[in-house]
Chain A
């Protein structure tokens, strides 16, 4: 088990370097960010040159990348164009998005898995058909439509919630945005769980457990669900990183100043330091989430533990 974890950790290094290099190149290909800094007016050449030097943009890309990575290992993610440290931006953005992601994941686990189990056990019944239809609708309607619609109904028409989230972004204000963010994944989790449960229900070990006379609850939770969760856990694990990075639409609708907002601003202003910094952290989140998923396999299925 220990060697397995070490091997997995070592594998993360090339992935990390490759991903950051790719992002670095992509942002750089977009062109010279200083051109947009002076508004509709052209920056005067002397100031432009000074700004370029200050942000290290006058050096070749490979050199910029090496300096950047060197700094990253000392915890220095550079400075955004508005003079703020990128680490400062991260300190305000990540807690908000982490809260939002937590709520979304909770929704996925609680509602998604429950609905999946219920429908998987009652395949073909009206409940099953109903939920299937519902998930189909959720999957096919884009997030921004769901978001704007719920915002308009709950926020403006009925006045149950505030349509936008305040700058502190406490948990209770994030419930609706979290649900909107989770909606599509939630539908997938439901469907995955349903299929997996329905498949495993006829397997030998379930029949044995029932034959042993175990209570139904114990059969479903300990035997059936535990074995059916592997694909679901994989999906949710991969989804953590996806939700954090992909929250741009939801964060924009509800005016949440999280990672999505900073990334959007960074891309719009072609701010290499912000974009690469945030993406670097997101890559790490992805990698760690994947590691946790792999470790969870071992917990769920003892056969994997000894590989």
Chain B
């Protein structure tokens, strides 16, 4: 396999040198099939619909075949206008959105204001079982389209109105100044009529408006994407296409990369981190992503909701040697956390290095003192609960426990409590069965400080697994959402984050990096802040 590829490339290079005729390689006509790269992929968990995809693997594809009103800059994470010509508001609650002219779906249909409104109504509708419906929760009329109980009483969101071919208005139920910046999220992508007319056929072979089109989709094994030649955007794909291949084990994908059967691996397995420099040299990338790992606490448990418990949580935080764990267990692919957001936000976006202060530093003696002042560990010990099926959580949980045990001079102070599967782990969380700290991870939906705080710590928010509730925090978040000046809004969010710190609502552990390795055929490989490769910018030589 390897030899034939090389031979073809040698021939190709000669041809290009002789005459600048394109290199047809496989010869299946159309686009330059020799410039197609192959990349590792995982089987998406849910059907591929924009508002139904909440994990990275499905998100990758949506990012290739869809473009929304906004797009997050692959480098800075800043939300920039894509299909949006303008998004205007006077009061941060009523928005008028104009869609750019000249955009079509790859089947020729025009992208209009209706394409967005239809897609959003579909995404919000309870009847459609979309996992990401809550993204439309701020829009007026959501409680009729998606009531908490019973059947939906309306088919369309009353807050959405099409006012022209390319304009529509959005009315929110509350002020939300950063709302336009959330519109780069995949759930807000436009949908063509084909999606509604023949849904089954669409899911088998999705049609979007992005730089790639789906050539073939063999569920569970491979998706072939090819460059869409008539793509109207200025971020055209710089390669011929991408073959996403499903791997059950990222170790096998890595082995395939080494053997020359695969061009791009976007998750270097932990076990290979020691060899990766040796194997790939500078064809390896390890950059921060918008992911933070924390330990959450069950505030519904009396023992963790006392006045002294804050000191206990702070003490536990100080008993964890983050530096050593990220060095030895994660080979520096994680960075010790010093706040509750992520470095990908940047200083302007709200990341504040060192906000956590000494509570995130390893100080075993003070840790012991603080825990004693706070009345000691509830019941004399803590157990850290995690799911043991994915993500090699066992190693770091054991390390964290060791660190705590050493700091407290007590072999039995901390024990790990593995749960068999992720679903079961989630089950115990939603059933409020936790009695001690548990693993919590947060991957951002969009690069805003709001996304790192509100869903996790606001009273009764969707991912507030510990059921922490604090009026001061809630008030600050509300104020921040009403603030039209971005810099001021970020400042208010940071104040809210300080409330999280003072109460140690969750112990920040580390920021996670994204990693990628690639073959010598590729150049210009980058990872965006969501740790997904920027496929359209990859060049195949």
Contact = CB atoms under 8 A, between A and B. Distances in A.
Q: Do A and B come from one complex?
A: yes
B258 A156 contact: yes
Nearest to B258: A156
Contacts of B523: none
Contacts, number: 154
B277 interface: no
A191 interface: no
Interface stretch (A2-10, A39-47, A228-236): A39-47
Given A30-B420, A40-B441, A40-B463, A164 B255 contact: yes
A31 interface: yes
User: Counting chain A CB atoms within 10 Å of each CB, which of B148, B255, B427, B443 scores highest?
Assistant: B255
Interface stretch (A76-84, A197-205, A210-218, A282-290): A76-84
Contacts of B420: 30
B16 to A, nearest CB: 27
A82 B203 CA distance: 11
A291 interface: no
Contact of B248 (A88, A156, A162, A264): A264
Given A35-B430, A167-B222, A255-B247, A40 B255 contact: no
Interface stretch (A114-122, A237-245, A246-254): A246-254
User: Counting chain A CB atoms within 10 Å of each CB, which of B146, B249, B455 scores highest?
Assistant: B249
Contacts of B126: 46-47, 50
B146 A46 contact: yes
B138 interface: no
A270 B425 CA distance: 12
B146 A39 contact: no
Contacts of B259: 155-156, 159, 162-163
A255 B430 contact: no
Interface in A36-63: 36-47, 49-51, 54
B129 interface: yes
Interface string B32-51: 00000000000111110000
Nearest to B422: A36
A203 B316 CA distance: 75
B54 interface: yes
Nearest to A158: B259
Contacts of A89: 220
Contacts of B222: 167
Contacts of B427: 31-32, 35-36
B492 to A, nearest CB: 24
A85 B246 CA distance: 19
Give the size range of B's interface with the partner: 35 or more
Interface string A149-192: 00110011001001110010000000000000000000000000
A47 B130 contact: yes
B203 A83 contact: yes
A305 B217 CA distance: 53
Contacts of B253: 164, 255
A36 B421 contact: yes
A194 interface: no
B389 interface: yes
B164 to A, nearest CB: 33
A167 B221 contact: yes
A40 B149 contact: no
Contacts of B260: 159
A164 B131 contact: no
A252 B131 contact: no
A150 B127 CA distance: 51
A163 B46 contact: no
A162 B429 CA distance: 43
Given A82-B45, A155-B259, A42 B426 contact: yes
21 contacts: A32-B423, A32-B427, A35-B423, A35-B429, A36-B421, A37-B46, A42-B465, A44-B134, A50-B126, A89-B220, A92-B220, A155-B259, A159-B260, A162-B1, A164-B247, A251-B248, A255-B247, A255-B248, A255-B249, A257-B221, A268-B422
Given A39-B131, A156-B258, A261-B248, 17 more contacts: A35-B429, A36-B426, A37-B45, A38-B54, A39-B55, A41-B462, A51-B129, A82-B44, A84-B220, A151-B252, A251-B248, A252-B248, A252-B252, A253-B249, A255-B249, A257-B221, A264-B248
Interface of B: 1-2, 43-47, 54-55, 126-127, 129-131, 133-134, 146-149, 203, 218-222, 245-249, 252-253, 255-256, 258-261, 389-390, 420-427, 429-430, 440-443, 455, 462-463, 465
